[in-house]
Amino acid sequence: MVNSIERLRKLFSKYSIDYYVVPSTDEFLGEWVPDYNDRLRYITRFTCSSGVAVISREGKNYFFTDGRYLLQAKKQLDKSFVIKDLEKEKFTSWMIETLKKGEKVGLDPKLHNVTQIDNVIKNSDKSNLVFTDENLIDAIWQDRPLKSLTDIFTYNFNYAGEIPENKLKIVSSFLKEKGVESVVLSNPESICWLLNIRGNDLEFTPIVLCYAIVSKNGPVKLFLSHKPSNETNKYLKDNNVQIFTPNQFQKEISKLSGKVCINKNTSFWIASNLRDYVVEEDPCLLPKACKNKIEINGAIQAHIKDGTAMQECLDWLHANLGKKKITELSLSEKLLEFRQKQKGFFSPSFQSIVGFKDNGAIIHHKATKENHKEIKGNGLLLIDSGGQYFEGTTDITRTIAIGKPTAEQIHNFTLVLKGHIKVLSAVFPESFTGADLDKLAREDLKKEGKDYAHGTGHGVGSFLSVHEGPQSISSKGVVKLQPGMILSIEPGFYKEGEYGIRIESLAYVKKAKKSGYLEFVVLTKVPIDEKLVDFNLLTPQEKEWLQEYN
């Protein structure tokens, strides 16, 4: 890593810069990137999905990540990095407040969204920013993984529940309402949802990395590196889609006339190539989040399959503890084996998080050959995992008692469980956002001065990303919850150096019997470990909920 940073610094003189920013994103600005675009990992060896490194010409470097990954960053980064909590200080705020007069920061304009850059320009000296015409990591990356192109396939109506023609009508209505001529879609998940296509360009998310332009009149222009099969090509043509290469994208967006719509997570590079644009929400975001009946039924089926695989794995674990060596890594591999037996399984929905004892306190711990524990003796085992099935996407966390848990562990687990039950059993007004429910999940923990450094829940796609917006259950969850949305409910508690607790189930939102109110229907089908429950702390209603659920 030191050598790669030193090679990077040698390019600073070429662009007269004092810092270079390396985000975890690629040009599609999604949460996950393919190996060949994982520039942050190359320059820092940081293996998680959210972070920004600022490499300086000399002296200290800076690394920004959120609460899920702070412990991981402390373990993986060398001492040249000052680690900062993104929840308390964004890297853009650091730039605005810290840069001295004359200091310049190099950026790849394709890897930063228009909102971030506009904020920096608005609040600081524009001359501080240098947009490089090459990505400096790419220029020094030795032994870079090769780009691999996967097949595109159509996503059957029996799973999608809606045809592209009707989805395009939603986008067309949006364009008319906003008074714009076209929209540039830069989120591959939105495009795959809109056109009912899928791929395997990311390890855990079945999408095609692509851009699209949708106009009020005329065909959809789809920009991708792939060469679709004759069957897929015909399908796209029948749905009024024209295929272009990525090299044609800049030319096509630069000649768009009239007002063009982009969203706040569109790259600054795309915005700078448009003649006239407005920033609005991605028109696919909300309709994609509100699942139709076929998608909900698919999610139910996917969770039955996933619950079967998870329970079989837990049964195997308890049957073999003490009889054979089981590690975090081997248990993760065994869980995958059980999922692979399920019909319609496509891939994991993310790399499984299996953390025993103090590794469980690392919120998104990833076991490796070099860093994994054997599961034996007494301790808490946290398993956070999920699957991609053609019917839907799953995500589940269960914390299991290995051996005899301590009174403290039982107490804290029960506090987390109370928050989990409160959210899942809530009947709440249609005006509620995720922020309202986030408070409910933390209530019992906060009474004892305890909390957790992550949101309570995120949206989940239908055979798409396991992390989907715009809905979330967190202090920043400002979107009203609506019927059909699928969310995780995952409060937790982490004692650094000792153990971690998280209970996560997925649920969908539906209308309650009481007019103007909503409620959750639980999707996840895996029991909660009652060895970790202090029933004296539960209300009669909470006891009843747990008994019925288990």
Residues near 119 by Cβ (< 8 Å), separated by ≥ 6? Answer: 92, 96
Instruction: Tokens for 200, please give them.
Output: 């395997």
pLDDT at 424: 98
Q: List Cβ neighbours of 446 (8 Å cut-off, separation of 6 or more).
A: none
Which string of DSSP letters, residue by residue, matches 44-77? H---SS--EEEEESSS-EEEEE-TTTHHHHHHHS
Q: Structure tokens of 475?
A: 């202090």
Q: Is 83 helix (H, G, I), strand (E, B) or coil?
A: strand
The domains located in the chain, with CATH, are: 2-140 (3.40.350.10), 153-288 (3.40.350.10), 290-549 (3.90.230.10)
Place of tokens 């975090």: 328
Question: Beta-strand (E) ranges in 87-244?
Answer: 105-107, 129-131, 153-154, 182-185, 197-198, 211-215, 220-223, 241-244
Residue holding tokens 């190996």?
A: 35
Pairing between β-strand 379-385 and β-strand 353-356 as defined by DSSP bridges: antiparallel
Bridge-based pairing of strands 387-389 and 499-502 is: unpaired
Give the pLDDT confidence score for residue 217 in this predicted structure. Answer: 82
In this prediction, residue 1 carries a pLDDT of 52
Q: Cβ distance 68 to 48 under 8 Å?
A: yes
Taking a C-beta distance cutoff of 8 angstroms, is the pair 67, 21 a contact? Answer: no
d(CA 233, CA 225): 14
With beta carbons less than 8 A apart as the criterion, state whether 171 and 214 touch. Answer: yes
Q: Which stretch of DSSP H or E encloses residue 391?
A: none
Taking the model in full, what pTM does it have? 0.93
Letter string b/e over residues 69-83, b meaning 16 or more CB atoms within 10 A of that residue's CB: bbbbbeebbeebbee
Mean pLDDT by 10 residues, the chain (550 residues): 83 93 93 92 80 88 80 77 80 79 90 89 76 94 87 95 96 95 97 97 96 93 92 94 96 95 96 96 97 98 98 98 96 98 97 95 84 93 98 98 98 98 97 96 98 96 97 95 98 97 98 97 98 98 98
